[in-house]
Amino acid sequence: MMNSTNFYFKLVHYFDLGVYKYLLFTFILSFYILIVSVNVFLIVIICMNRSLHEPMYLFLVSLFANELCGSTGLFPFLLVQILSDLHTVSASLCLLQVFCVYSYVGVGFFNLTIMSYDRYLAICRPLQYNTLMTPKKVATLTGVSWGYSLCFIAFMVRLSARLQLCGNIINNVYCDNYSLVKLACSDTTANNIYGLAYTFTAMLGLVILIVFSYSKILKVCFSGSKQTRQKAVSTCIPHLASLLNFSCGCFFEIVQSRFNMSNVPVLLRIFLSLYWICCQPLFNPVLYGLKMTKIHSEDTWKKVLWSEETRMELYVHQTR
């Protein structure tokens, strides 16, 4: 049984790198530190600058926070496995990683959908935007995106934990739910129904809302003035690029996990399985940091630095 304290999974996609494993460890650690630093930095910038306390930037905070959670659910695990000679993981830690990784996906899709809806209101209904996208609504949408995803994934992990397994070999470099279900020799009907129900009720609904939002935005772009088109393009390109990158990464993971890819080189399969959770947490901060004028403007930096200097002066004054 998977809930046994002595049950371990073996990850077979790791191979002996000899002394080069320390070089790979250094690279992965540096990459993880970069992801954490950039995401935390942008969260601090947005939170400390009052001019950025708008719905779009608050949704970005949620997006960056989710990427921190997803990265933390994967990178420390990879670092340990790179240095390990056994490449095994306990059942409890494996289930925890499934929860972290799949929660990252669910919250990420919800965040990107909400941002699509926000762009729709800003471009298609600008005069009503402030009344439709209130602070209370922003908090509600963000809470729903996290709450719904976490509750669903928690129940999914619970269903997987109850399965009776006939093997312990995972053909991946981390734990994923589909690999666990494939190892089951007990009835997986509940798992399959639950997964399909989530796919059609949640994911399909999110895709429909995204398509609806951008169909309306495109309609305004074609019928509006040149200035309206430029504004729509400048605000939508970062989100569309992020959505496309995230969707492609998830598609790569689905393909490599559900279809026979034995003819594909192992390194390529590892890259495809890691792309969606490794590249997106760095892609988004760089993309939004470069494209969003308010984030990288000189005035924003001056306000943040000035407020920091002010707090230091007050602290020094109080300690005297």
Give strand pairing partners of 88: 10
In angstroms, what CA-CA distances link 81 with 78, 172, 221? 5, 12, 50
Distance, CA of 10 to CA of 271 (rounded, Å): 19
State whether residue 8 is helix, strand or coil: strand
Q: Which residues contact 234 (CB under 8 A, 6 or more apart)?
A: 291
**Single-letter code of the amino acid located at 282:** L
Domain that holds residue 208: 8-319
Q: Which residues contact 136 (CB under 8 A, 6 or more apart)?
A: none
pLDDT score recorded for residue 313:
46
Q: Establish if 122 belongs to a structural domain.
A: yes
Which of 1-5, 30-34, 52-56, 238-242 is predicted with the least confidence, judged by mean pLDDT? 1-5
Number of Cβ within 10 Å of residue 25's Cβ equals 17
Q: For residue range 103-133, list pLDDT tens digits in order.
A: 999 999 999 999 999 988 988 888 899 899 9
Per-residue pLDDT band for 60 (boundaries 50, 70, 90) equals very high
Distance, CA of 66 to CA of 107 (rounded, Å): 7
Distance, CA of 137 to CA of 149 (rounded, Å): 18
- Answer whether residue 311 shows pLDDT above 60: no
Q: Establish if 2 belongs to a structural domain.
A: no
Distance, CA of 314 to CA of 293 (rounded, Å): 31
pLDDT score recorded for residue 205:
82
Distance, CA of 236 to CA of 239 (rounded, Å): 5
- Where would I find the beta strands (DSSP E) of the chain? 8-11, 88-90, 169-170
Of 238, 224, 160, 233, the closest CA to residue 1 belongs to: 160
Distance, CA of 155 to CA of 63 (rounded, Å): 23
Q: Establish if 3 belongs to a structural domain.
A: no
Per-residue pLDDT band for 39 (boundaries 50, 70, 90) equals very high
- The owner of tokens 């910038």 is 45
CB-neighbour burial class of residue 190 (10 A; exposed 0-12, middle 13-18, buried 19+): exposed
Number of Cβ within 10 Å of residue 208's Cβ equals 11
What percent of the chain has pLDDT above 90? 30
In angstroms, what CA-CA distances link 316 with 5, 205, 303? 53, 54, 20
- Answer whether residue 242 shows pLDDT above 50: yes
Of 191, 100, 199, 14, the closest CA to residue 183 belongs to: 191
What percent of the chain has pLDDT above 70? 88
Q: What is the dihedral of CA 63, 67, 183, 95, to 10 degrees?
A: -100
Q: For residue range 26-35, list pLDDT tens digits in order.
A: 999 999 999 9
Q: Establish if 1 belongs to a structural domain.
A: no
Give strand pairing partners of 300: none
| CATH assignment at residue 241 | 1.20.1070.10
Residue 132 has which token pair? 């439709």
Q: Can you say whether residue 90 is alpha, beta or left, with left for phi > 0 and alpha for psi between -120 and 50 degrees?
A: beta
pLDDT score recorded for residue 58:
92
Distance, CA of 39 to CA of 280 (rounded, Å): 11
Provide the pairing of β-strand 88-90 with 8-11.
antiparallel
What is the total count of domains within the chain? 1
Q: Establish if 283 belongs to a structural domain.
A: yes
Q: Provide the 8-state DSSP code for 163.
A: P
pTM of the predicted model as reported, rounded to 2 decimal places? 0.85
- Answer whether residue 155 shows pLDDT above 80: yes
Q: Establish if 310 belongs to a structural domain.
A: yes
More confident call, 224 vs 101: 101
